[in-house]
Amino acid sequence: MFNSGQAQYHVGANFVTTRADTYPYIDPSRFNLQGKHALITDASKGVGRATAISYAKAGASGIAIAARSSLEDVAKEVKEAAAAAGRPEPNILAIKLDVTDRGSVKAAVAEVSRAFEGRLDVLINNAGYLSSFGSILDMDPNDWWQDYEVNVKGVYNVTHSFFPMLIKSQLRILINITSIGAVSLVPGNSAYGSAKLAVMQLTEYIN
């Protein structure tokens, strides 16, 4: 660990391997998720998009992709990924979802329940928000709080609403996406960093 101004940064330990791509142990083609159903929030880009594609390669029977933006291209990629991996085409459900809105989340529960016959095995809370960096005094309070609205309240809303369906599964996997921002002190990152830290403890309570 070294100091830079008032910030503390952790240097990766020598037992940590940096990865930039999928490696054999986690290659989705090694898994068989036939008969399993997953929901991924904020699946329109980045980690969420890649996760949906990986579940298709692993043979998941149902993949719900949710976001506020269009998911048409993602749904096409997910189908193509399943075909390329020699897997049956999954039941893909594209949902318009705002994780901060309880009504939107409840509507999503109804859609998933109908499409997947009340079955959900994997829930991935990937939706997130990163406010502009700035000191606590200089930041717009509404922008600062938006980190908590999406990163904490959003995770709570989705988990709370989908938990009754998830708990019926024998697999019952819940993944909340956080980041190194939760465990490092970076100047100007008080909103995102503290919100992601809160998600880590919320996950412990859920467990």
Q: Which residues contact 39 (CB under 8 A, 6 or more apart)?
A: 64, 66, 112, 120, 122, 123, 124, 162
Could you tell me the end-to-end alpha-carbon distance of the chain, in angstroms, rounded to an integer? 30
Q: Which amino acid is at 205?
A: Y
- Tell me which amino acid residue 175 is: I
Among 55, 129, 148, 192, the active-site one is 192
Which is it for strands 122-125 and 173-176: parallel, antiparallel or unpaired? parallel
Candidates 36, 57, 148, 196; catalytic one: 196
Q: Is 96 part of the annotated catalytic residue set?
A: no
Secondary structure of residue 188 in the 3-state scheme: coil
- 196 catalytic? Reply is yes
- Cα of 59 vs its chain's centroid, Å: 19
Active site residues: 192, 196
